[in-house]
Structures are given as C-alpha cells and as structure tokens.
C-alpha cells in the first residue's frame, strides 16, 4: 500500500476542486469543500476514501437521524466498489461494519428514552417520543461530542 502522502497527492490531482487537510478526525465538510483526514490512523487510507466518497456523492446534510446511517452506508459502498481498486486500497467488510456500528450505537443512544429506557422514535429533527411511556425529549447533534438528551423540551 502506498503512503498516505502519495494517496493524497493522487487525490489532489484527480479532484482538484477539493481540499485535503490533515486533522485528528476524518470528516467531509461540504461548506469548505474539504476532506479532513488523520494520517496517524490505522485506517487512514480507507477512511479518507470514505470521506471523499461523501464529497463525490454530494452528501451535504440529513434531516432525520436514520438518514445519516444511509449516507454512511452509501459512502462506504462507493469507496469500496468505485474508489478502492483505483487507488490500490483494500476496504474489508469488517472495517465498514465496525464503522457503521458506531452510527448504529449513536442512533440507539439518541432514541433511548431517558425515563424508561425503551427505544423511541424521532418525530422531527432531534425530537423524540417514547412509544412506551409517552415521554418527549430532544437530543443534541452529538456526532463529535457527548450525547445530551433534554427532557420536556421541544424546538
């Protein structure tokens, strides 16, 4: 496998409208047209292609939390099926599923009722309702920070 610097050089040539910036996180920023990557990560090549796939697929935002999981799945599929071979990167299913599990866990935590711990539903963006006890709560975005759920509040 080539070095991450070699991969980034190739990507910069192939995608001149995008920026590639070293960071401590992997992230696609549509407003900055930037793929942020962590060169120290064990999965740097795979995750960089994944974030680039978000850019290629035009992923910008999502309304409901479940949509985020679909965007993530689509970006991983695109990275594995359309990008990996071109850049001599192997993206195995375990890497993909381990990453998607973090989003599944995130979805589950957000949708867990803070009163009775039953899984609720997202009524509106970041607004949840428990089907078991009727409790309402909102959740912060919590993709890059700790999850917070606030009872009895609506937007």
Q: Are residues 59 and 99 in the same domain?
A: yes
Q: Measuring CA to CA, which residue among 31, 2, 23 is closest to residue 144?
A: 23
> What domain range includes position 17?
4-108
**DSSP label at residue 114:** T
Q: Are residues 104 and 51 in the same domain?
A: yes
Query: How far apart are the C-alpha atoms of 28 and 18, rounded to whole Å?
Result: 10
Reported as a single tens digit per residue, the pLDDT across 16-49 is 999 999 999 999 999 999 999 999 999 999 999 9
Q: Are residues 25 and 61 in the same domain?
A: yes
Reported as a single tens digit per residue, the pLDDT across 5-18 is 999 999 999 999 99
- DSSP character string of 59-85: ----SSHHHHHHHHHHHHHHIIIIITG
Across 90-109, average pLDDT: 94
Q: What is the pLDDT of residue 1?
A: 72
Q: Are residues 87 and 12 in the same domain?
A: yes
Q: Which residues pair with 27 in a beta bridge?
A: 36
Query: How far apart are the C-alpha atoms of 53 and 77, rounded to whole Å?
Result: 9
Last residue of a domain, one of 108, 125, 140: 108
Confidence of residue 155 (pLDDT cuts 50, 70, 90): very low
Q: Are residues 125 and 138 in the same domain?
A: yes
């Amino acid at each position: 496998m080539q070095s991450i610097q070699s991969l980034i050089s190739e990507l910069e040539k192939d995608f001149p409208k995008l920026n590639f910036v070293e960071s401590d996180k992997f992230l696609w920023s549509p407003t900055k047209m930037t793929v942020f990557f962590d060169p120290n990560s064990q999965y740097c090549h795979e995750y960089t292609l994944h974030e680039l796939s978000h850019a290629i697929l035009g992923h910008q935002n999502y309304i409901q939390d479940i949509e985020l999981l679909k965007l993530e799945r689509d970006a991983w599929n695109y990275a594995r099926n359309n990008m990996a071979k071109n850049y001599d990167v192997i993206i195995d299913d375990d890497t993909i599923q381990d990453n998607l599990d973090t989003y599944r866990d995130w979805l589950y935590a957000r949708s867990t009722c803070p009163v009775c711990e039953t899984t609720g539903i997202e009524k509106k963006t970041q607004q949840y309702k428990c089907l078991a006890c009727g409790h309402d709560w909102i959740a912060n975005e919590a993709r890059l920070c700790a999850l917070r759920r606030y009872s009895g509040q609506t937007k």
